[in-house]
């Protein structure tokens, strides 16, 4: 398998292909910033059906499979779809502002979490292994497709990214990435689509399906500052096991506390990483 040499960026309904290499080397941070700025400065309009195209990856799988076969098997649509699917990862430059706000901790975290989970249901490519979502106020997060890896993989990736960004790369005093721009690097290229009205109708149907699912998600997130993993480890307990027990207890209190059971024996299935399961 060859390493991918490009990413695909979604911004205001347009898809851009961005090369990660120039003159045989990876782009430097300031050069990558330059490419993102070029996308932000691009004023072109989305092509018909382009803006909500990714809703096909959010709805039912059968309509998406049929659309692939009927409309994305040849020509410019096939080339553009190949660019998306062969990209190292997907990036969304989101026009909303998200993140934790001390004056409104609960609502801000709920909005942040739901945005990363599904966004507008057409601005994340849900078939990609992961999508970096960069918000207008500089906050960033990840939407990951689960079949290829468990959560710790993305956690390790994110830890590496954050550590490298803060401890090795850094920023100049004016807020830009350190280094210089490079005018010789080609501009990001717009992906070209020819999406007929029949396919656009399927896109809208898929979007409606996805919106129903997204609106049915009740996601409440909040910062927990009473204690952390350090205290749990001092109690000779695994932090992961502690959380799993908390989930079991919460389920019991929610579903079973009002029922008198002479012989109490039931099991609640909770999340378990595949590597842990294989070790048993």
Q: Which helix (H) or strand (E) holds 17?
A: strand 14-19
DSSP label of 15: E
Q: Which residues contact 183 (CB under 8 A, 6 or more apart)?
A: none
CB 152 within 8 A of CB 123: no
Question: d(Cα 168, Cα 160) in Å, to the nearest integer?
Answer: 11
- Which two structure tokens, joined as six digits, stand for 142? 């990840």
- Give me the sign of the Cα torsion angle 20, 165, 140, 244: positive
Out of 146, 176, 257, 258, the active site residue is 146
**Residue 10 Rama label (left phi>0; alpha psi -120 to 50; beta):** beta
DSSP 53: G
Q: Is there a contact between 133 and 89 (Cβ–Cβ < 8 Å)?
A: no
176 is catalytic: no
Q: Which residues of 189-220 are buried (b: 16+ CB within 10 A; e: fewer)?
A: ebbebebeeebbebbeebbebbbeebeeeeee
Angle between helices 197-215 and 105-118 (to 10 degrees): 140
What letter does residue 177 receive in the DSSP assignment? B
Q: Which residues participate in catalysis according to the annotation?
A: 146
């Amino acid at each position: 398998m060859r390493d991918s040499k490009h990413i695909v960026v979604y911004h205001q309904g347009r898809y851009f292909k961005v090369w990660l290499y120039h003159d045989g080397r990876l782009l430097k941070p300031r050069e990558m910033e330059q490419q993102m700025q070029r996308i932000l400065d691009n004023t072109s309009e989305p092509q018909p059906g382009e803006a909500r195209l990714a809703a096909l990856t959010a709805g039912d799988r059968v309509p998406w499979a049929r659309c692939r076969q009927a409309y994305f098997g040849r020509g410019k649509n096939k080339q553009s779809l190949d660019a998306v699917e062969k990209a190292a990862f997907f990036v969304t430059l989101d026009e909303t502002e998200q993140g934790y706000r001390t004056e409104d901790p609960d609502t801000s975290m709920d909005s942040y979490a739901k945005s990363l989970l599904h966004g507008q249901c057409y601005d994340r490519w849900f078939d990609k292994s992961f999508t970096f979502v960069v918000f207008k106020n500089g906050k960033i997060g990840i939407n990951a497709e689960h079949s290829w890896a468990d959560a710790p993989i993305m956690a390790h990736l994110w830890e590496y990214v954050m550590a490298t960004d803060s401890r090795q790369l850094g920023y100049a005093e004016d807020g830009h990435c350190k280094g210089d721009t490079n005018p010789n690097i080609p501009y990001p290229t717009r992906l070209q689509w020819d999406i007929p009205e029949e396919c656009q109708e399927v896109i809208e149907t898929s979007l409606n399906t996805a919106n129903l699912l997204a609106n049915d998600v009740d996601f409440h997130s909040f910062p927990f500052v009473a204690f952390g993993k350090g205290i749990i480890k001092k109690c000779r307990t695994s932090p992961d096991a502690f959380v799993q027990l908390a989930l079991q207890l919460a389920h019991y209190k929610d579903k079973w506390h009002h029922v008198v059971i002479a012989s109490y024996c039931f099991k609640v299935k909770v999340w378990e990483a595949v590597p842990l399961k294989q070790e048993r």
